[in-house]
């Protein structure tokens, strides 16, 4: 079965990502938008979540319980 258009489940480590369940993307924990695996640059080891970009990651760190739109 193809991993195309399937959400992956990852372990977010310090400087590395481990694929726990194959797929081609994860969802941004804040915006809910798809992030292709090859484009993941921002994540939280503590929260085990990925972020769309640096701005979203920074805003998440400033307001951890706030749900934001893209």
Per-residue pLDDT reduced to its tens digit, 25-53: 999 999 999 999 999 999 999 999 999 99
pTM of the full predicted structure?
Answer: 0.83
pLDDT for position 13: 97
Whether the per-residue pLDDT at 63 is higher than 90: the answer is: no
50 burial (CB, 10 Å; 0-12 / 13-18 / 19+) is buried
Whole-number average pLDDT of the chain: 90
| Distance (Å, whole) CA 41 – CA 62 | 18
Diameter of the chain measured on Cα atoms: 40
SS3 63: coil
């Amino acid at each position: 079965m193809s991993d195309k258009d399937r959400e992956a489940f990852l372990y977010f480590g310090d400087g590395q990502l481990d694929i726990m369940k194959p797929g081609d993307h994860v969802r941004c924990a804040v915006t809910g938008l798809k992030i292709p695996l090859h484009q993941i640059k921002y994540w939280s080891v503590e929260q085990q979540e990925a972020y769309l970009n640096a701005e979203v990651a920074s805003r998440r760190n400033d307001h951890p319980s706030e749900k934001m739109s893209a």
